[in-house]
Amino acid sequence: MRLFIAILLDEPVLDALTDFQSALWESGLRGRLAPRENLHLTLAFIGEYGNPEAVAEAMTAIPFVPFPLRLEGVGQFGDLYWAGLSESPALSACARRLRRSLAERGIPYDRKRFSPHITLVRKAVFHGGTALPDVAPPSGEMLVRGISLMRSERGKRGMIYTELARAGE
C-alpha cells in the first residue's frame, strides 16, 4: 500500500487553488493539472508500507492543536508548479512531531527536508519553456483541524487518493 500523511484543504482554499490553475491555463500554460480532489499538503511521504494501522497509531500519538494555514506565493521545481504557504511554526512543529513519531515506531518515510507546498501542475510548459507565467498567486486561509493518512493508487485517469484515518479534531 502506498501511503502518505497530509493536511486536506477546505473548500475556500481549494476554490482559490483551482481558480489559480484556471488562470494559469488561460495564460497559455499546458501540463497535467492536479485534480481538485487531489490537492493537499504532504507532511510525510511513507511510500509502500503494509501496516496502515501502525501509521495511524503514530499519528494519534502526537498532540494536535489546530493552527492556521495561509497560502502565500507560488514557485516551481523544474516543470512542477506549486503554491506556497506562509511561514508557520505550528505547521513545522506538527511535521517534526509526526516524523519523530514515525521514526520511533520504525515506520519508514521520505526524510527529505520538509518543504511545505501544494503541487498544482506537473510537466508544466509555458510558451516552450517552464517559466512560471505572470499570474496573480492564489490567496486563502484555513484552520487546520487534523491530519489524514492517505492511500495513493494509480487509476485509469491518474492517481486516486483515499483517506484511511484521521487524527486531530
Angstrom distances, CA of residue 123 to CA of 29, 135, 147: 10, 18, 28
CA distance 58 to 4: 12
The kind and range of the H/E element at 53 are helix 52-60
Contact 110, 44 (CB under 8 A): yes
Low-confidence ranges of the chain (pLDDT < 50): none
* pTM of the predicted structure, to 2 decimals: 0.93
> Number of structural domains, the chain?
1
CA distance 15 to 133: 20
Range of the domain at 47: 2-168
Q: What is the CATH number of the domain that holds 102?
A: 3.90.1140.10
What pLDDT, on the 0 to 100 scale, is given for residue 155? Answer: 85
CA distance 84 to 91: 13
What pLDDT, on the 0 to 100 scale, is given for residue 75? Answer: 93
What pLDDT, on the 0 to 100 scale, is given for residue 139? Answer: 96
Contact 141, 68 (CB under 8 A): yes
What pLDDT, on the 0 to 100 scale, is given for residue 32? Answer: 94
